[in-house]
Amino acid sequence: MAIKDQVILITGGARGIGLETAKALAGKGAKLVLTDLDSPALEEAVAAIGADACEGVVADVTNLPAMEAAVATAVERFGRLDVVLANAGIASYGSVMAIDPAAFQRTLDINITGVFNTARAAIPELEKTKGYLLVVSSLAAFAAAPGLAAYNASKAGVEHLANALRLEVAHRGIAVGCAHMSWIDTPLVQDAKSDLPTFQELLSKLPPPLNKTTDVDSCVKAFVKGVDKRQRHVYCPGWVRGAGLNRNVINSAVGNIPILRLVPDLLPRMDAEVRALGRSTSARNVANDERKAAGEG
């Protein structure tokens, strides 16, 4: 599809991949609606893109009425909705025995239920335009890592949510894509590295190419191409495609050996860092939770 004049809604659009993808799409003539819980960051994002081509909506993806209102805003402002990028997501830290149960649940709520709410709200409008929904999953959907069980589970779940959606809406003219990325140099990964020295250590000791971090610009290019071509799958970097095809090998007894060697020493230290930190997610996510509790979005 031609991106020029397409109306595109991006959740989690105030920073990171969401914001940079929005800028790239705006540069190709798209009209953007960005949602986020971080109102100040959202205002900055809209200003950076230009208010004539961008609308910001403070909304919590775990709140279905809020997402319905965001879709309504897109239609009221720009007349229709052509593309949705279900990008909002968080990570949480710690083994199953160390993670704060509330943080585990919040990760599932945002990363899975948030995509459900986004799709549920958007599908009626996407049907009118024979539009495209791109759901953001991750390499983590098929390559598990110790201390990241909530994130792994959520991204595996959202991958199959996208697969089911694709089957449900194809006859309505809506295309559904699913994006899988490795470690991207986003605030999510940066926060984890800052909070937990063992996270950086884990990355460095993973077998290549799993130990590499990719720049945001490469991911943005992949997302823009995915939107332009209505791709069924988006991978960044390209080798992630091969990892997906070989997921059974990655999760086999032999494939687990490199990580199993790390766990006895590394995981107890990671859990100790999480307990010392006093939270199982980034300070940024804690602030967003406080905004939610205050009734924003």
Which residues are designated catalytic?
Answer: 151
Lookup: tokens for 193: 């590295």
Q: At what angle do helices 149-169 and 114-129 cross, to 10 degrees?
A: 20
How deeply is 253 buried, as exposed, middle or buried, from its count of CB atoms within 10 A (0-12, 13-18, 19+)?
exposed
Contact 81, 74 (CB under 8 A): yes
How deeply is 47 buried, as exposed, middle or buried, from its count of CB atoms within 10 A (0-12, 13-18, 19+)?
exposed
Residues linked to residue 281 through DSSP beta bridges, in sequence order: none
Q: What is the Cα Rg of the chain in Å?
A: 19
Q: Which helix (H) or strand (E) holds 9?
A: strand 7-11
**What 3-state DSSP class applies to 254?**
coil
| CA–CA dist 12, 296 (Å, integer) | 15
Q: What amino acid occupies position 279?
A: R
Q: What is the DSSP string of 72-116?
A: HHHHHHHS---EEEE-------S-TTTS-HHHHHHHHIIIIIHHH
